[in-house]
Amino acid sequence: MKKAVYFLLLLILSIPVFVKAATIEDYYIDVTLKENGDALIQESFSYRGSFDSVYRKIDYDALADVDISINKETVYLPDDVELISINNINFEGILDYNEINNIDKVYVRNDNATIGSNGYYSVSKEKKLYTYKIYETGKYKAFSINYIYKNVVINYNDVAEVYLNLIKNSNIDIKSLEIRVKKEDTNNIFYAWYHGNLLYNNINISESKKEAVYIFNDVIKGSSVSIRLCLDKISNPTKIYNFNVVDKIVKYEEDLKELNSLKLKDIEIKNQKAITYNQIRAKIIKYGGIVWIIGLIIIIYLNYKNYDKEYINEFSGRYFKDIPTALNPAIVSYLMDKKISVKDLSANLLNLVYKKKIGYKINSERDYILEIKDSTNIDEIEQKTINLLFQNKDKLIMSELKDNASKNYKKFLKDYNDWHISALKLSRNLNYFEETSIRRTLRIIYPILGLVLLSLYNKYASIYFCSTILILSLISLVFFITNTKRTKAGNFEYLKWAGLKNYINNFNKVTVFEFPHISLWEKYLIYATSFGLSERLIRIVKDKIETKEINRKILIKKLEDTTRMSSIINASINNALMAAKKASTNTK
């Protein structure tokens, strides 16, 4: 029942809390062309999404996509970029063009700033690429970056020309982009064109010919935006060429526009097909996902009802004070958790000492010498315990175990693996768990079908719904892989051993009059080691000894010896295995 409850809790917790990918909601770029050939640029944008910093990369080495028979490509490149300021914008709701100059905060340059250092920005440069990093934490804020493209306007005999590569391979989605270009004085703008990989755009030159406005919607990540204009000549240019160009430029752009219109039709047809295809995939995810979730609930219910619900037994108590049966500690671990580990190796050694198959004597305060006394009438797990730890010798000095394991790590690890395999094999032979490999395989396949369904994901599918399916698939996959059911006999044994584990775990409540006989105490300590409760049990007993709650001198002495030996054995075996594994790793 607990497993089903835990899984239902996981289902509830799987309702996703998402952080949407960062996007730019509104992006305004104001360009003022100055009489000296510079371009004064103010970029203002609202940034939505959980973030701790914002990047803006300006690449002024991007070559122009123009007719090179008119002029060289490189002539359009700025000489440099001069940063003026980076600001935080105060706005309400949606960033409006009329709010871009509402400066709330001016950021200070600090190239050593770190995440969390709000109010700073850093600058780095690689060749002709500037990277500006704004340190600000938030979910929806607006920023402005003001800079100058140096010397970009070209004067010819008949007109001035400018080509600006404003966005190159955008690293973020932009919902709305608006570019405004105007002259510093009252000169006219005659022509305006757009270059890039965006399909839809709207370009308008005002009736007064004083401003050109470019409007783009849904600029996806990876897009590039460049603009080209012809206007009245500027008064103080640096780049001057004594020939006429306007007719050639207009013809080139018109031919390019016609060519692009044909490409656009093909692209629109392909895009429409892609949209229809992706919408069908999104519907498959939606309705298939609903069916999949209903099926998962049914499978979980049937799994619990028919396979997971433990058998009812006559023993139902919380505590079991006696040792239920003479099971090997490793087998008890398997019964409890279906796992066997190094702590069960320590428990086996303690059990051999308890059964007087191994004798011991104190070598020092923190060391014991163990000696094989009798190797008859022991089980396979105990025999492999002796093989592993004694390594064909009659005596074992605990303080030397770590060094010996490190020096002979290959044999030590091989013997440990043999011991582990043997313990698992003997535990499985007792049939404490129902083996339903076919049913388990079918149950495991079902969550994988959910993951296969998610392979159809695209932007038309709900990210919340898909993420729910993903989380449910992963949780159910783990649940079905680890889900087991004990047999009736296994469950009966389990309940008694679980009762003993509860009793040991609550040993601090035992009074002096209830304190077990020394022989039973030693057995408690053996199985407490397999339960992972030996340190707790030893600590409780020490507290009782110190407070004189246990006042029998012989018992106290015996308890002290047993607890000390248990601590040393546990530590020595753990350290030996870690040393062997470390030596194995270091030699690879």
Rounded to whole angstroms, the Cα distance separating 353 from 369 reads 12
Spatial contact of 44 and 60, defined as CB atoms under 8 Å apart: no
Q: Where are the beta strands (DSSP E) in 4-62?
A: 23-33, 39-51, 54-59
pLDDT of 583 over the 60 cut: yes
Buried b (16+ CB within 10 A) or exposed e, 213-248: ebebeebeeebbbbbbbbbbbbeebebeeeeebbee
Spatial contact of 485 and 424, defined as CB atoms under 8 Å apart: no
Q: How confident is the model at residue 14 (pLDDT cuts 50, 70, 90)?
A: very low
Select the more confidently predicted residue: 209 or 555.
Answer: 209
Residue range 157-175, pLDDT digits in tens: 999 999 999 988 888 889 8
Query: Torsion angle, CA of 13/16/17/21, rounded to 10 degrees?
Result: 160
Q: What is the DSSP letter of 214?
A: E
Rounded to whole angstroms, the Cα distance separating 489 from 145 reads 74
Phi and psi (nearest 5°) for 18? Answer: -115, 150
Cα 546 to chain centroid distance, Å, stands at 48
Long-range contacts of 3-9 (CB under 8 A, 24+ apart): 3/304, 3/308, 3/479, 3/483, 4/300, 4/304, 4/308, 7/300, 7/475, 7/476, 7/479
Phi and psi (nearest 5°) for 28? Answer: -115, 130
Q: Give the pLDDT confidence score for residue 12 in this predicted structure.
A: 46
Residue range 146-155, pLDDT digits in tens: 999 999 999 9
pLDDT of 67 over the 80 cut: no
**One-letter-per-residue 3-state SS of 466-483:** HHHHHHHHHHHHHHHHHC
Cβ-proximal residues to 497 (8 Å cutoff; 6+ apart), any chain:
320, 324, 327, 332, 335, 336, 527
- Annotate 353-416 with DSSP letters as a single string: HHTTSEEEEEEETTEEEEEE---SS--HHHHHHHHHHHTT-SEEEGGGHHHHHHHTHHHHHHHH
Rounded to whole angstroms, the Cα distance separating 331 from 451 reads 37
Q: Give the pLDDT confidence score for residue 555 in this predicted structure.
A: 59
Q: What is the pTM of this model?
A: 0.53
Average pLDDT, the chain: 84
The H-or-E segment that residue 105 falls in is: strand 103-106
Rounded to whole angstroms, the Cα distance separating 228 from 5 reads 65
Select the more confidently predicted residue: 367 or 260.
Answer: 367
Residue range 498-511, pLDDT digits in tens: 888 888 888 777 65
Tell me the two tokens of residue 92: 């309400």
Spatial contact of 25 and 175, defined as CB atoms under 8 Å apart: yes
**One-letter-per-residue 3-state SS of 141-207:** EEEEEEEEECCCCEECCCCEEEEEEEECCCCCEEEEEEEEEEECCCCCEEEEEEEECCCCCEEEECC
Widest CA span of the chain, in angstroms?
115
pLDDT of 286 over the 60 cut: yes
pLDDT of 571 over the 70 cut: yes
Q: How confident is the model at residue 48 (pLDDT cuts 50, 70, 90)?
A: confident
pLDDT of 40 over the 60 cut: yes
Instruction: State the pairing for strand pair 81-89/103-106.
Output: antiparallel
Q: How confident is the model at residue 268 (pLDDT cuts 50, 70, 90)?
A: confident
CATH of 23-244, one of 2.60.40, 3.40.50, 3.30.1120, 3.30.1490: 2.60.40
Rounded to whole angstroms, the Cα distance separating 267 from 67 reads 24
Residue range 453-468, pLDDT digits in tens: 989 988 888 888 988 8
Rounded to whole angstroms, the Cα distance separating 527 from 497 reads 9
Mean pLDDT confidence for 508-530:
72
Percent of the chain surpassing pLDDT 70 = 86
Q: Give the pLDDT confidence score for residue 17 in this predicted structure.
A: 39
The H-or-E segment that residue 225 falls in is: strand 225-231
What ranges do the domains of the chain cover? 23-244, 329-434+488-586
Residue range 207-263, pLDDT digits in tens: 888 899 999 888 888 888 899 999 999 999 999 999 999 999 998 888 888 777 777
Rounded to whole angstroms, the Cα distance separating 370 from 361 reads 7
Q: Give the pLDDT confidence score for residue 144 in this predicted structure.
A: 96
Rounded to whole angstroms, the Cα distance separating 342 from 77 reads 69
Q: How confident is the model at residue 178 (pLDDT cuts 50, 70, 90)?
A: very high
Tell me the two tokens of residue 36: 């000296």
Q: What is the DSSP letter of 307?
A: I
Rounded to whole angstroms, the Cα distance separating 449 from 285 reads 12
Q: Give the pLDDT confidence score for residue 122 in this predicted structure.
A: 95
pLDDT of 490 over the 50 cut: yes
